[in-house]
Amino acid sequence: MTKTTRSLLILSALLLLAASAFAAPQTMRLDYYHSGDAKQELFSIDRVVVEPLPWPGDLSKAIDSTNLGKYFFEVRDQKSGRALYSRGFASVYGEWETTDEAKSITRTFSESLRFPAPDAPVSIVLKKRDAQNNWRDQWTTSIDPSDMFIDRSKPAAPAPLIAIQKMGDSATKVDLLLLGDGYTKAETKKFAADARRLTEVLFATSPFKEHRADFNVWGLCPTAAESGISRPSTGVYRDSLATYDAFGSERYVLSFDNRALRKVAQFAPYEFVEILANNRTYGGGGIFNLYSTVAVDNAFANYVFVHEFGHHFAGLADEYYTSSVAYAPAAERVEPWEPNATALLDPGKLKWKDLVAPGTPIATPWNKDEFEKYSLEIQKRRALIRKQKLPENVMEALFREELQHEQGVFRQEKYYGRVGAFEGAIYEAKGYYRPEVDCIMFTRTNHFCAVCRRAIERIVSLYSRRS
């Protein structure tokens, strides 16, 4: 062996050692049960899983300082107490507990926490906001990574992973998974086309447009035995991940089978998931740091896809308030944790005050009465269409009529396009305010307001890193 060859071998060995030292850890997942009702809640361990793929995130951004979410969890080193990882999130349980059903029965939901696999025993500390939106410890449990009962099995992937858009290493990019639901084997190509189409829609919308290079987008579509997803209100039942009629709201699409969802999603590098439901009927849903959903074949799928992703990605609140929802109204006004809504308890401390132009009054006047009168009539017509089981194109025509009217009215507003505090948000006509007169979180328009754009960019920076 020559001296040069020996040197090259030593150099190669050193490079391999360096690479292994900086290799991404495995992805660990704690599956647990979240049970209770409107007055109490309990947590219990289901299982701990080591997922097939390495951790996709940036280890230098392991701590979440955004103060978003109804819940928050920390992974703490047991010996030192040091926080190794943390994230805020919301959950299906957290929404369900605000419904009337939660006042009369107890239910259990499966939930998961994902984090970089630790090298030593850790404590998982779960917190929840109290009535004043302050954090309170709810549950603490321990995980020893050497525990023989941690599931380290290597199941087969349910479908091939499709790289819709790969802009770089997962550790430096936001990883978004588009998960197909209700696509048969014959519809595999349709899923790929739907995923690519909606990806283009997302990146045609600011500020995602300006941050396209910060995202990897993946597609994964397990084969369904039947086309479409469940819609119980019409007698349609499928073996699908998601279903319409969540909490009794016919348009609300959620997944209640977290175990099945995670079993599929673990075969993609992901931080965010949007479920593409292979359906025509208008519908979708979005929960912060959990997932979002959209019915892909509806004429307003583009809007729903982006709107619901806004909930899931950046914790944006719904700003509309004339549509019926399953949630009970708030008993008292407290400042919301969501970045695009305020109770305006102290106008001088408006959370987006720096974006308000001089001369803009707070609260900001707008033609609220006129809007509400028209919108409530639309809701009556909407309910009648569903009651009479008319074709979906009738509902789509109503939505087009509504959008055209709203855009014409809003353009005449004195403070249109300006940031202020416009009363009407988070399903409430009074007491909560949104940043602009119009936004994709308020109507079926195609743009985010300035406050929502900034909130989205904050999350992009938490998960991505430019070289």
Tell me the pLDDT band of 326, cut-offs 50, 70 and 90: low
DSSP code string of 166-201: --S-GGGSEEEEEEEES--GGGHHHHHHHHHHHHHH
208: CB partners within 8 A, 6+ apart: 202, 215, 306, 456
Give me the mean pLDDT over the 265-282 stretch. Answer: 98
Q: What's the CA gap between 277 and 228, in Å, rounded?
A: 7
Q: 193-232: per-residue pLDDT in tens?
A: 999 999 999 999 999 999 999 999 999 999 999 999 999 9
pLDDT score, position 49:
98
Residue type, 248: G
pTM: 0.93
User: Token pair for residue 139?
Assistant: 């549950």
Neighbouring-strand partners of residue 216: 175
Tell me the pLDDT band of 467, cut-offs 50, 70 and 90: low
Report the 10 Å Cβ neighbour count for 463. Answer: 22
* Residue ranges of domains in the chain, CATH in brackets: 26-143 (2.60.40.3250), 162-314 (3.40.390.10), 347-456 (no CATH)
Three-class SS of 278-331: CCCCCCEEEECCCEEEEECCCCCHHHHHHHHHHHHHHCCCCCCCCCCCCECCCC
Separation of CA 251 from chain center: 17
The helix, strand and coil proportions of the chain, stated in percent and rounded to the nearest 5, come to 30, 25, 45
The residue that leads in pLDDT, 202 or 323, is 202
Q: Cα(first)–Cα(last) distance of the chain, in Å?
A: 39
Q: What's the CA gap between 454 and 111, in Å, rounded?
A: 29
Neighbouring-strand partners of residue 179: 220, 275
Give me the mean pLDDT over the 269-298 stretch. Answer: 98
For residues 97 and 38, the answer to whether their CB atoms sit within 8 Å is yes
74: CB partners within 8 A, 6+ apart: 83, 85, 86, 124, 125, 127
User: Token pair for residue 371?
Assistant: 């809007």
Phi, psi for residue 361 in degrees, rounded to 5: -70, 145
- C-alpha distances in Å from residue 51, one per residue of 60, 117, 155, 227: 21, 10, 10, 29
For residues 337 and 311, the answer to whether their CB atoms sit within 8 Å is no
Q: 32-49: per-residue pLDDT in tens?
A: 999 999 999 999 999 999
Q: 100-128: per-residue pLDDT in tens?
A: 999 999 999 999 999 999 999 999 999 99
pLDDT score, position 327:
63
pLDDT score, position 16:
39
Q: 441-452: per-residue pLDDT in tens?
A: 999 999 999 999
pLDDT score, position 329:
67
Mean pLDDT, the chain, whole residue set: 94
Tell the residue number behind the tokens 């992973």, with chain if given.
161
Give me the mean pLDDT over the 428-434 stretch. Answer: 96
Tell me the pLDDT band of 332, cut-offs 50, 70 and 90: confident
Q: Is the pLDDT of residue 11 over 70?
A: no
Percent of the chain scored above 70 by pLDDT? 94
Q: Is the pLDDT of residue 2 over 80?
A: no
For residues 465 and 58, the answer to whether their CB atoms sit within 8 Å is yes
Tell the residue number behind the tokens 């959209």, with chain if given.
294
